[in-house]
Amino acid sequence: MTVGIVWDDRFLAHAAPGHVERPERLTAIRRALEEAGQWSSLAPIPARPADEADLLRVHAAEHVRRVRETADAGRVVWFDPDTYACPASSEAAFLAAGAVCAAADVVLAGETASAFCPVRPPGHHACRDRAMGFCLFNNVAVAARRLQAVHGVRRILILDWDVHHGNGTQEAFYDDPDVMYISTHQWPHYPGTGAREETGRGQGRGTTLNYPLPAGAGDEAFLEAVDDGLARAQDFGPAFVLVSTGFDAHRDDPLAGLGLTDSAYAEATRRVRRLAEVTAGGRVVSILEGGYAAGALGRSAVAHVQALAAG
């Protein structure tokens, strides 16, 4: 099965000295895919900046303006102690959100069966009116809202297996009955949201599923949580699947301690793909979130892409 990939060197210009969310994250992924012989078989998807309309379905206009204005600051700007923007970050952030939208458009059109988007800055902590957790715009949420508004896709699944709970994504869809958000994450851990009792609000009650896992949970507990979530998602019947694929739950990652292996990501991807084949015509777009150990990040991305490509 053909897998599309978004790559743009402008993602590498987003940088701050000494910060763990650094350009080498993406170069590690590309190098690993090249060494595994996979890069040449991937279908390139050109990145494009996000349209203002796409961003404003998720973010407040004032927040979009604040991100844009960092391009003219002439220095690194800090939104909070963890989250920065250098003069090149605004372009990268608009491009990251737009690239995921472009990948979703391509997959929905049937030009590729699935797509992997190694973009940065990451997105799932970004809220309607603020950047946080290394994230400027919520890339996966922007793509989901575009699928709904532009393409009329009614039911969407977002599976988030980053080690940190995607509080911004949960916020965006907490009362939406047509977007199911499933998160596996270490608990307790940053950002402090994602309790099992957080299940949605109003018409969206029941379409948020959180699986908080203790440090050291390992592959088996992670895959059990994924299986339970996907069983519920099959009843929900998504027509499109988005995956916030953070690789920072890996046992080698310095920022957390769930203790996963490369093979866990491969197996989770296979299970997601099987669900997508049943309910969504096989349509899956995955978006890079976390992952901060270069070797583990590269190996995990290879395992993920191989599983997406398996026929």
pLDDT for 311 beyond 90: no
Residue 41: per-residue pLDDT: 96
CATH of domain 3-309: 3.40.800.20
Show the tokens assigned to 211. Answer: 């699986």
What percent of the chain stands above pLDDT 70? 100
Taking only the tens place, the pLDDT of each residue in 20-29 is 999 999 999 9
Instruction: Give the mean model confidence (pLDDT) for residues 291-308.
Output: 98
Helices (H) and strands (E) in the chain, counts: 9, 10
Give the span between the Cα atoms of 244 and 162, in whole angstroms: 7
pLDDT (tens digit, 9 = 90+) per residue, 243-255? Answer: 999 999 999 999 9
Active site residues: 125
For the beta carbon of residue 302, count every other beta carbon within 10 angstroms: 22
**What per-residue string of b and e applies to 1-17 under the rule 16 or more CB within 10 Å gives b?**
eebbbbbbeebbbbbbe
What single letter denotes the amino acid at residue 52?
A: E
Sign of dihedral through CA atoms 83, 23, 286, 257? negative
β-pair partners for 303: none
Q: Find tokens 């690789």 and name the residue.
A: 247
Instruction: Respond yes or no on whether the N-terminal peptide bond of residue 191 is cis (omega within 30° of 0).
Output: yes
Residue 223 pLDDT > 80: yes
Q: How confident is the model at residue 212 (pLDDT cuts 50, 70, 90)?
A: very high
pTM across the whole model: 0.98
**Using CA atoms, how far apart are residues 203 and 213, in angstroms rounded to an integer?**
27
* 243, containing H or E segment: strand 240-245
With a cut of 90, say whether residue 189 has pLDDT above it: yes
Q: What is the mean predicted confidence (pLDDT) over 58-82?
A: 98
Within 10 angstroms of residue 189's Cβ, the number of other Cβ atoms is: 19
Instruction: Give the start-to-end residue ranges of the domains of the chain.
Output: 3-309
Consecutive H or E run containing 114: strand 114-117
Upstream peptide bond of 188 is cis (omega within 30 degrees of 0): yes
Count CB-CB contacts under 10 A for residue 206: 12
Please state the rounded mean pLDDT for residues 204-230: 98
Q: Is 211 helix (H, G, I), strand (E, B) or coil?
A: strand
Task: Count the Cβ atoms, other than its own, within 10 Å of residue 64.
Answer: 21
Average pLDDT over residues 61-72: 98
SS3 content of the chain, % helix, strand, coil (to 5): 40, 15, 40
1 confidence band (pLDDT: 50, 70, 90): confident
Find, among 79, 58, 61, 71, the residue nearest to 14 by Cα: 71
Write the secondary structure of 45-113 as one string of H (helix), E (strand) and C (coil): ECCCCCCHHHHHCCCCHHHHHHHHHHHHCCCCEEEECCEEECCCHHHHHHHHHHHHHHHHHHHHCCCCC
Q: How many CB atoms lie within 10 A of CB 149?
A: 12
Let me know: does 238 contact 168? Beta carbons within 8 Å: no
pLDDT over 80 at 229, yes or no? yes
Judge whether residue 2 has pLDDT over 90. yes
Q: Taking Cα atoms as reference points, which of 222, 220, 204 lies closest to residue 212? A: 222
Asked if residue 163 lies in contact with residue 121, where contact means CB atoms within 8 angstroms, the answer is: no
Residue 124 CB coordination number (10 Å): 29
**What's the mean per-residue pLDDT of the chain?**
98
**Residue 275 pLDDT > 70, yes or no?**
yes
